[in-house]
């Protein structure tokens, strides 16, 4: 019975991360459009301030239940995620959305490398094969010529920070602390972004459509998304989580075709199919074959 319940929980966690990847993918063209009118840091400060206020209203006592150690972990994770958001969003202002999606998706490569180095975990061959397949799929999906410039470099730096965040969540998160950890992480992200932009004033959106976009990215993608990720990673190993979340650019392409009027191309189908196969490979293979990862560490 316990084994069956564990399988159900891990399946639910995988589905939560897949939903998170879909919500992330839905924001690429939305953010690209919004940054034409609202500066990067101002957008992030408003987005995560709204997200933190919503979560505090919904669960006002969750922060008080965190131990000092968990609070310290949440602050570190919030700093990593906040800096990653700043770099990724700034990079998106200097590089096409498709390239940004590919480079950001390279956290799927960075995660097992960092998990092996930091957590001393053994990454089995099938997982490395899935990582390689997902990376090639991301390239087929997104790239049409590629050059390294300022936008690509800072986006790559964000991918490394996202990978560190994934590894940290895998090591430190627990189901019972998920809400409190999420609130504190988002508060830290909001503070980081606000401090980075407050010196020259904060530009607010001046269109109702832009406010709707910010509200969606704050409440659904920001608050609910990070809450889902924090809970899910209490039940999944970091590399497995990263491979599931590498579906984000696939969803981004899907939404670009569905809502953005872009063409459904052979490259999109081939690249997206490769990422999907990589995800299914780690989901359908036996757990003992996929992950030799230490689930939690205390620091």
Going by the DSSP 8-state scheme, the letter that residue 122 receives in this structure is B
pLDDT at 50: 95
DSSP of 129-150 = HHHHHHHHHHHHHH-SS----H
- CA dihedral angle for residue 95, residue 100, residue 103, residue 106, rounded to 10 degrees: 170
pLDDT at 298: 41
Radius of gyration of the chain (CA): 18
Q: Which residues pair with 122 in a beta bridge?
A: 292
Per-residue pLDDT of the chain (299 residues; tens, 9 = 90+): 566 777 888 889 999 999 999 888 888 777 777 888 988 889 999 999 999 999 999 998 999 999 999 999 999 999 999 999 889 878 877 877 667 777 888 888 888 888 888 888 777 888 888 888 888 888 787 666 656 678 888 988 999 999 999 999 989 989 899 999 999 999 999 999 999 888 888 888 888 888 998 999 999 998 999 999 999 999 888 888 988 888 887 887 777 777 766 677 777 788 878 888 888 877 776 555 444 444 444 44
Going by the DSSP 8-state scheme, the letter that residue 204 receives in this structure is P
Q: Which residues pair with 141 in a beta bridge?
A: none
Q: Which residues pair with 292 in a beta bridge?
A: 122
- CA dihedral angle for residue 264, residue 270, residue 272, residue 276, rounded to 10 degrees: 140
Q: What is the largest CA-CA distance in the chain?
A: 58
pLDDT at 15: 93
Helix axes 178-197, 225-232, angle to 10 degrees: 130
- String of b and e for 273-285 (b: at least 16 CB within 10 Å)? ebbbebbebbbee
pLDDT at 293: 47
| CB contact at 8 A, 104 and 88 | yes
- Going from the C-alpha of 51 to that of each of 105, 179, 220, the distances in angstroms are 24, 13, 9
Measure the CA–CA gap between 225 and 228, rounded to whole angstroms. 5
């Amino acid at each position: 019975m316990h084994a069956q319940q564990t399988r159900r929980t891990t399946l639910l966690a995988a589905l939560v991360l897949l939903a998170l990847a879909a919500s992330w993918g839905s924001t690429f063209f939305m953010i690209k459009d919004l940054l034409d009118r609202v500066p990067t840091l101002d957008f992030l400060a408003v987005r995560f301030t709204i997200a933190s206020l919503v979560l505090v209203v919904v669960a006002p006592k969750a922060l008080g239940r965190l131990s000092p150690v968990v609070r310290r972990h949440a602050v570190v994770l919030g700093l990593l995620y906040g800096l990653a958001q700043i770099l990724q969003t700034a990079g998106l202002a200097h590089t096409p959305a498709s390239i940004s999606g590919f480079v950001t998706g390279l956290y799927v490569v960075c995660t097992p490398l960092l998990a092996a180095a930091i957590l001393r975990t053994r990454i089995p061959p099938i997982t490395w094969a899935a990582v390689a397949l997902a990376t090639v799929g991301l390239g087929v999906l997104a790239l049409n010529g590629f050059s390294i410039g300022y936008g690509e470099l800072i986006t790559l730096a964000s991918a490394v920070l996202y990978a560190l965040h994934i590894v940290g969540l895998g090591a430190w998160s627990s189901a019972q602390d998920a809400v409190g950890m999420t609130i504190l992480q988002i508060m830290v992200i909001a503070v980081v972004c606000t401090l980075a932009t407050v010196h020259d004033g904060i530009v607010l959106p001046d269109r109702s459509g832009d406010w709707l976009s910010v509200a969606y990215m704050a409440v659904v993608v920001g608050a609910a998304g990070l809450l889902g990720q924090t809970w899910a990673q209490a039940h999944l190993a970091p590399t497995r989580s990263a491979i599931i979340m590498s579906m984000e650019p696939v969803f981004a392409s899907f939404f670009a075709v569905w809502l953005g009027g872009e063409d459904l191309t052979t490259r999109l189908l081939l690249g997206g199919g490769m990422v999907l196969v990589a995800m299914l490979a780690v989901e359908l293979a036996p757990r003992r074959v996929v992950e030799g990862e230490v689930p939690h560490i205390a620091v």
